[in-house]
Structure 1
Amino acid sequence: MKLRYLTAGESHGPALTAIVEGLPSNIEISADDINRHLARRQLGYGRGGRMKIEKDQVQFLSGVRWGKTLGSPVTLSIHNRDWENWDKKMSPRAEDRVEGIAVVHPRPGHADLSGMIKYHHDDARNILERSSARETAVRVAVGALCIKFLRDLDIEIMGYVSEIAGIAASGDDVDFRERFARSEQSACRTFDAGAEKRMIEAIDQAKQAGDSLGGVVEVVVLGAPAGIGSYVHWDRRLDGRLAGAVMSIQAFKGVEVGAGFDAARRPGSQVHDEIAYADGAFFRKSNRAGGLEGGMTNGEAIVIRGAMKPIPTLYTPLETVDMQNKAPFKATVERSDVCAVPAAAVVAEAVVAITLAEAVLEKFGGDSMEDIRESLERYNSYVRSV
């Protein structure tokens, strides 16, 4: 069965919910496994006031019994603590409509105006509540399930920040696991202490100016065997699927794999990774391809980066238009972050995990973890014999 999921819920609604179908039985999972990632998403220098209100905790509503998945759909729910302040403003009941609530006019950089036109709404509140990055909380919960599934197959996923506001972390000599370990101790979720100091200064300056900052996150996958994904159809190419997943994160505007855009600036001799063989295994002498060739994993580390634009809600608001009289209007200021790039690294981990888990299940699929492990071990034995 194909892995698939749906999320539902508004930013200030009662809860965020996801239904995940296609996971095998007997994945060992607990709420703590998921809550740890939810807590990581809420951290990071530059986060706004909403993170002081919420303490995201997941509740399993189906699909898990006694610490193991059942093979049936898993339902996850995250309660919005701020709902108590919005129960009338966001009530589904017509009789609860509150008169006199200010209409939100479309804000630059958001889904507001296009969404209002598309769905025939005259209040951007009806758009922003669902388009909000608050939705990523439940995607992180789904991703945490997939991270646990992959880890049980010895596949690791690690995300961190490589750049904020043009300030890039340096340390190409630092291996991926060490980068991740350092970033988990960093307020900016980066592995370069010197760059972190400059990032914090830039975030402070942006906050004082009522502005916001973006950056670049990097996600690395270790342990994925060669041959996941396929070259035979465009929609089965794993690099395209991963790129689409990362681009689906709110505020992301660019994706690259391996050397990425820099590969376009170099001659082929400085781009393609030479193949070698030693100790009974093939390997690449470099990894400019980022672990993906021809739409498939090649056995090297998967390296994918995503570029996040600055949060479009500014405390020094940009100009927009009043939807009623079409006159110039200062955009409504919603509670927001100055910089959410550290949190976005956790979200990027999650969507990469979901996409990779789907591809792993396509390759090694079975109804139980036992089936999948047996299939993977048989495949690994074959790879070692080539």
Structure 2
Amino acid sequence: MPLRFLTAGESHGPALTVILDGMPAGLPLAPEIVNAELARRQKGYGSGGRMKIEKDTVRILAGVLAGETTGAPIALLVENADHVKWKGREIEPMTAPRPGHADLTGAVKYGYRDLRPALERASARETAMRVAAGAVCKHFLARFGIVVGGYVASIGEVAAEFGDMPYAERFARAEESDVRCPVEESARRMRAEIEKTIRGKNTLGGVLEIVALNVPAGLGSFVQWDRRLEARLASAAMSVQAIKGVEVGDAFENAKRLGTEAHDPINLKSSASDLQPSNLSRASNRAGGIEGGISNGQPILLRAAMKPIATTLVPQQTVDLASGENAPTRYERSDFCPVPRAVPILEAMTAFVLADALIEKLGGDSLDEMTPRFESLRKATLDDLPMDNVSHVFWDA
């Protein structure tokens, strides 16, 4: 795939970094574009104490000259304000793994004598750099009119009903809500559910919806398993800490339906031959904008299930790996409900995959090359398809 990124850094280390490789040259880029997304990541009802300490801002270290990307790898850095409280401090060893966290599995895999290295790297603090890289990708997609947004669909047992509210309105209303839910009454109930959970010294999960608008038909492929667009999007979403399930479109509802009820019939609105959705109409979007591993021009819809995070004020049963005895878990500062803050993280990962797929489709080392190719893609018509309606001999070797 043409686009890739790597993050580095620990939760309480001096800084976090990301290198985004493969972004075409000529994209205007300033720190403010990234900082706006970083600020969104730090907003959310139910957050822990660290959000009062950190105010993330990015430094662009490479890949940008005179305010534009050069085509070289882009290096971004965010300093950890909390590092000064940890630097040079003697830390008591952590030997009692928390169920549901990377403590135990990390120690088994890497042979740690202390569980803290697993905690430090597996921490969701790392997602600051995913959001930073995703901010660049969202900015890139916006040059082609593609918008990636998201909102909270449910927290705990409280689920929102969106009716026919347009996606753009959902995005805007969600940004005005501290639980990132666009339905005011549902947001109030979610807030109450979080408050109850905090009083009970527990944690809470939920479901997020991420939507990409104005994605052209033709991104992704079915020719290899790892090029299927829904597989790439699901993998990216599942890589985010505490995300344990993903569906594309109405996947789980479709599993209960008959075949004639589970798909999106295609109609031609008029005699025009425009290949894009302006004339090819669908009354539904059960497929979530992807068919056969390829975008079909409809909104791409993902739902992601986020489990309650593993760190709870109420101790859980575990085993102290140093003593070999049963022991309670020890509390580490964390969120009570990370679901609202996960929205920009999932948006970032979705934007990264779509930017990668768009560059793959159009090719080009610069925006100047890609822009006319994208316009041609948008203007494609049914007449451009070589449908000659002539029979042929199959597999004539």
Confirm or deny a common fold (TM above 0.5): yes
1:289 paired to 2:280? no
Amino acid aligned to 1:363:
K
CA contact under 8 A between 1:283 and 1:299: conserved in structure 2? no
Spell out, residue by residue over 1:287-328, the C-alpha distance to the aligned partner (whole angstroms, 9 max, x if none).
010000000000000000100000110011211111112111
Amino acid aligned to 1:214:
G
Aligned residue in 2 for 1:216: 207
Aligned residue in 1 for 2:329: 331
1: CA distance between counterparts of 2:6 and 2:375? 31
Q: 1:266, CA displacement in angstroms?
A: 1.1
CA contact under 8 A between 1:223 and 1:299: conserved in structure 2? yes
Q: 1:183 aligns with which of 174, 192, 195?
A: 174
2: CA distance between counterparts of 1:326 and 1:106? 12
2: CA distance between counterparts of 1:40 and 1:346? 7
Aligned CA-pair RMSD = 1.2
Q: 1:385, CA displacement in angstroms?
A: 4.8
CA contact under 8 A between 1:144 and 1:350: conserved in structure 2? yes
* Structure 2: unaligned runs, 5 residues or longer: 273-278, 385-397
Amino acid aligned to 1:243:
A
1:148 paired to 2:139? yes
Aligned residue in 1 for 2:80: 80
CA contact under 8 A between 1:53 and 1:81: conserved in structure 2? yes
2: CA distance between counterparts of 1:88 and 1:383? 64
Amino acid aligned to 2:376:
R
CA contact under 8 A between 2:242 and 2:307: conserved in structure 1? yes
CA contact under 8 A between 1:104 and 1:332: conserved in structure 2? no
Aligned residue in 2 for 1:343: 341
1: CA distance between counterparts of 2:228 and 2:93? 47
Amino acid aligned to 2:293:
G
Name the SS for the 2:246 alignment partner.
strand
TM-score (normalised: structure 1) = 0.96
1:268 paired to 2:247? no
2: CA distance between counterparts of 1:347 and 1:17? 16
Q: 1:133 aligns with which of 113, 124, 134?
A: 124
Name the SS for the 1:345 alignment partner.
helix
Larger Rg: 2
2: CA distance between counterparts of 1:134 and 1:196? 25
CA contact under 8 A between 1:7 and 1:19: conserved in structure 2? yes
Amino acid aligned to 2:350:
V
> Cα 1:88–1:104, aligned 2, differ >3 Å: closer, same or farther?
farther
Q: 1:41, CA displacement in angstroms?
A: 0.5
Aligned residue in 2 for 1:94: none
CA contact under 8 A between 2:248 and 2:288: conserved in structure 1? yes
CA contact under 8 A between 1:283 and 1:300: conserved in structure 2? no
Aligned residue in 2 for 1:6: 6
CA contact under 8 A between 2:95 and 2:321: conserved in structure 1? no
Name the SS for the 2:255 alignment partner.
helix
1: CA distance between counterparts of 2:156 and 2:143? 36
2: CA distance between counterparts of 1:19 and 1:267? 46
> Cα 1:39–1:385, aligned 2, differ >3 Å: closer, same or farther?
farther
CA contact under 8 A between 2:138 and 2:351: conserved in structure 1? yes
Amino acid aligned to 2:181:
T
2: CA distance between counterparts of 1:238 and 1:382? 21
2: CA distance between counterparts of 1:123 and 1:305? 36
CA contact under 8 A between 1:155 and 1:221: conserved in structure 2? yes
Aligned residue in 2 for 1:23: 23
CA contact under 8 A between 1:122 and 1:323: conserved in structure 2? no
TM-score (normalised: structure 2) = 0.93
Q: 1:246 aligns with which of 221, 229, 237?
A: 237
Aligned positions of 1:80-119 closer than 5 A = 80-89=80-89, 98=90, 101-119=92-110
Name the SS for the 1:382 alignment partner.
coil
CA contact under 8 A between 1:245 and 1:352: conserved in structure 2? yes
Name the SS for the 2:20 alignment partner.
strand
2: CA distance between counterparts of 1:384 and 1:40? 41
CA contact under 8 A between 2:95 and 2:322: conserved in structure 1? no
> Cα 1:36–1:345, aligned 2, differ >3 Å: closer, same or farther?
same
Q: 1:373 aligns with which of 328, 346, 371?
A: 371
1:356 paired to 2:347? no
Q: 1:207 aligns with which of 195, 198, 203?
A: 198
Aligned residue in 2 for 1:314: 312
1:68 paired to 2:68? yes
* Structure 1: unaligned runs, 5 residues or longer: 90-97
Name the SS for the 1:353 alignment partner.
helix
CA contact under 8 A between 2:207 and 2:306: conserved in structure 1? yes
CA contact under 8 A between 2:149 and 2:347: conserved in structure 1? yes
Amino acid aligned to 1:211:
N
Name the SS for the 2:51 alignment partner.
helix
Aligned length: 377
